[in-house]
Amino acid sequence: MKYPEFVELIHKYDFICLSESKTDDFDVIDIPGYKFIMQNRKKTKVKSGGIAFGYKEKYEKQVHLIETESKLVLWLKISSEIFGTEEDVLIGCIYIPPENSIYKTQDAINDLEQEFLNFPLNYKYILLTGDFNSRTSTDSDFFEISESHHDNSDNVVVDYASCLNQFNMLHIDCRPSTKDKGYSGTVNITHSGLICHMWSDRSALPSGGLPDYNDELMNFCRTPDKDSETRPWCYTTSPGKRWEYCDVPLCG
């Protein structure tokens, strides 16, 4: 690293998120005592965009990359041992290209929201940090989810908070052995630990094999054909694994 002032600044922190890192797959961020995980922009003539997350080497076993297809956010799971929290902490390092950029997405905030909805049931502590490029300048910094916050889709009003509360109250962590009744619990992680994809994202999922409409806004493991002998499964957010079974035991 050629800039000692930058290295000196880095050494004041255990973790650091770099937005618009302008790194490619040939770059190496070499700072003594630190390791970096990078998400680089592909197929560009000049270096641009990019996200990097750095952490002290002593935390190598407590930092885990969570792979998704998102180009806007780099997800890391940090062990609860470091922060002294009840559960692990999920950190999302974000870079949203500016409005006039050729790399901008049609609705970056909505894409980010759909990505974020994959995680709340599995993580109590979630931190989003990075460069939003003024996309949130007129939004509230914090707000409480209530019945007044809705999403209108195809003229059907869906209350996310209400839906999640209903599923949380069910606590169905086993699949019924009764024929024609599929799994309807809230497990959304596969047997190897991959996060399930939102069923509502038809553009990213194959046609057919989808659960009932009430489930489409969620990313829970399901048995779309409602066959009790079939293990629940889901499409995953990992580019290297299209779908995978979930570990949900039979009830009783």
Which residue, 196, 233, 244, 241, is CA-closest to 217? 196
Banded model confidence at residue 4, pLDDT cuts 50, 70, 90: confident
pLDDT tens digits for range 198-218: 887 766 666 555 665 455 557
Banded model confidence at residue 169, pLDDT cuts 50, 70, 90: very low
CA dist 160 and 252 (Å) reads 31
Q: What is the pLDDT of residue 158?
A: 45
Q: What percent of the chain has pLDDT over 70?
A: 67
Alpha-helix runs per DSSP H in the chain: 4-10, 80-83, 108-116, 160-170
pLDDT tens digits for range 51-89: 999 999 999 999 999 888 888 889 999 999 998 898 999
Q: CA geometry: angle at 82 spanning 21 and 1, to 5°?
A: 30
The segment with the largest mean pLDDT, out of 8-12, 154-158, 206-210, 217-221, is 8-12
Banded model confidence at residue 167, pLDDT cuts 50, 70, 90: very low
Total length of the chain: 252
- Per-residue pLDDT, averaged over 216-242, amounts to 79
125-131 and 89-95 as β-strands: parallel, antiparallel, unpaired?
parallel
Strand locations in the chain (E): 15-19, 34-39, 51-56, 63-66, 73-78, 89-95, 125-131, 151-153, 156-158, 233-235, 243-245
CA dist 131 and 18 (Å) reads 9
Using CB atoms within 10 Å of the CB of residue 46, give its burial: 0 to 12 exposed, 13 to 18 middle, 19+ buried.
exposed
Instruction: Please state, rounded to an integer, the average pLDDT across all residues of the chain.
Output: 75
pLDDT tens digits for range 116-154: 777 766 788 888 888 877 655 555 555 455 544 444 444
CA dist 58 and 187 (Å) reads 32
Tokens 């937005």 appear where? Answer: 19
pLDDT higher at 24 or 95: 95
Q: How many CA atoms lie within 13 A of 139 on its CB side?
A: 8
Using CB atoms within 10 Å of the CB of residue 251, give its burial: 0 to 12 exposed, 13 to 18 middle, 19+ buried.
middle
Tokens of 93: 């390092």
